[in-house]
Structure 1
């Protein structure tokens, strides 16, 4: 495909070549008429004489010979290590005595999937899915988080003083529910992960999604005891919501909420050196609102989750 400033298209090349070959125009006059160099005019005229009209098409700029290309034997070794060990370019390069950029080019040339797209245990390409409408599936999970002692932890006081100050600080449990289609999230910081606490959280999360005009149909959780309890089962049954559980030892099945957990830690929990647990908790509602209403999501083409929830109250605030 010609670049935007190319003086000749395929049709223009054909007219130029015919003027020279069939019309008898000199190279210099033809070059002046079509605003190109005599060398360019000569090239298209020669191609027309040799190949005819099909010679006016663009050709690949790839060289006929690449004497410095990575040897085939080395390429095979790179591919073998990648397939068997599922290593990245840096580790493969260290093993084989190569440069990481060379390994990366070989992997790209042969279309090998990125490690982030593979299941590390089996090497199979991860099949990503997305539900068709809000509420069709909601992911639920709990993240355990160490509390910040009064006066701050090691990020504020230094590692030695922070370690002493952290004694008996305890833990918090972040219960989170994420809609599969929109990635709209509801989250609370609670004192434990007991069955009564989990059931109470879901009642409030369900009320939140209902207020957003989202009808929850199914809920996906891991196989924790709290999600196998009668309290959890009865809470969902009362609202006519189906309960699905992930396969054992396969947390990626609950990937939407599992991916939100590190984002939550990076952008809120560890985003700055808080001086107390209460200070960090006070910042949580603001961060969650920003995540739902303003923060661009890569899976949503850079738009926030609320962009997929029509008529949501406060969507544009």
Structure 2
């Protein structure tokens, strides 16, 4: 049986229902050892059992005041603990392959709960906190003021055919209506500090379209008092064009691009893309693409003004932008 790694740390804090604190134990022990009280009298006085009174008196005789502190409940020996060699194999697989407990257990022919317990004891970083390519812990950051950095990205989304897609008609019928529906391109800009977002559904991802979107996004941020200093994008062709570069340069904005094959660098807008898919695009079975698009502005307003954000202590992005009007409408 494995011992809880937090036992020693938890032992420093008395249990909420503990009858004695360290001070109370010391008083009890002194009554018995120094003042000569009978165990039963001391136990009755301090409302504990005679066995408990004997334990603290014996510890005081042996260790003095230091013996009044809590001790770890971890056993001195754990004959059923997972062997050290097996533990090292588990950790090596976790570090090298970045697998979860179930896959590691299958490879090493162990029980998943055993693997999970070993990983918990050694405390490696969660897989969600690691870069998939390098295995290093992702360094999370937040800019100190609005406009210091704005993340920009494009999400390609299949259109809903008239009459509904597979979510409305089922998989088989949905396949027959899918052809010819085309795609939409959701251009999004997210402020790093406040998470305030400006997003539009457009017809393509060409440089002219992306640049025109940014002009409107910049105007949106300027309208709420945010001066954009830097823009971060991926390495899409529209963001590598001269038109995009010249547009940002003319506005005095520095353009930064993510490292190739590292979408985590632009993680804030990537996370928003996933949120809008879950909470808007696939939130309910729309019957037409027009119906879904009509729901988008309302969803975006809710995201900016009312939806609590976990990175903002449950507050909406509007709470970090004092000049944003209509915050509670």
Same fold, TM exceeding 0.5? yes
Aligned residue for 1:113, secondary structure, equals coil
Whole-angstrom CA distance in 1 between matches of 2:120 and 2:90: 12
What's 1:185 paired with?
A: 197
Unaligned 5+ runs, structure 2: 1-12
Preserved contact between residue 229 and residue 253 of structure 2 (Cα < 8 Å): yes
Whole-angstrom CA distance in 2 between matches of 1:314 and 1:106: 51
Whole-angstrom CA distance in 2 between matches of 1:239 and 1:231: 13
- Which residue of 234, 247, 259 maps to 1:222? 234
Aligned residue for 1:134, secondary structure, equals coil
> Which range moves more in the overlay, 30-39 or 235-244?
235-244
Q: How does 1:164-243 map to 2 (within 5 A)?
A: 164-243=176-255
- Which residue of 6, 16, 26 maps to 1:4? 16
* In the alignment, structure 1 residue 88 sits paired with structure 2 residue 100: yes
Unaligned 5+ runs, structure 1: none
Aligned length: 317
4+ residue stretches of structure 1 with deviation over 4 A?
Answer: none
Whole-angstrom CA distance in 2 between matches of 1:99 and 1:292: 45
Question: Once the 2 structures are TM-superposed, how far is the Cα of residue 190 of structure 1 from its aligned partner?
Answer: 0.5
Aligned residue for 1:3, secondary structure, equals coil
Aligned residue for 1:199, secondary structure, equals helix
Question: Once the 2 structures are TM-superposed, how far is the Cα of residue 229 of structure 1 from its aligned partner?
Answer: 2.1
Query: Root-mean-square deviation (CA), in Å?
Result: 1.3
Question: Once the 2 structures are TM-superposed, how far is the Cα of residue 150 of structure 1 from its aligned partner?
Answer: 0.6
Aligned residue for 1:60, secondary structure, equals coil
What's 2:289 paired with?
A: 277
What's 1:59 paired with?
A: 71
Aligned residue for 1:315, secondary structure, equals coil
What's 1:14 paired with?
A: 26
Whole-angstrom CA distance in 2 between matches of 1:155 and 1:254: 30
Whole-angstrom CA distance in 2 between matches of 1:141 and 1:238: 21
**What do residues 265-299 of structure 1 show as CA deviations (whole Å, max 9, x unaligned)?**
11111111110001111111111112122222222
> Which range moves more in the overlay, 144-153 or 119-128?
119-128
- Which residue of 301, 326, 329 maps to 1:289? 301
Whole-angstrom CA distance in 2 between matches of 1:135 and 1:54: 56
Whole-angstrom CA distance in 1 between matches of 2:302 and 2:81: 49
Preserved contact between residue 131 and residue 264 of structure 2 (Cα < 8 Å): no
**What do residues 168-216 of structure 1 show as CA deviations (whole Å, max 9, x unaligned)?**
1000000000111111111000011111111111111111111221111
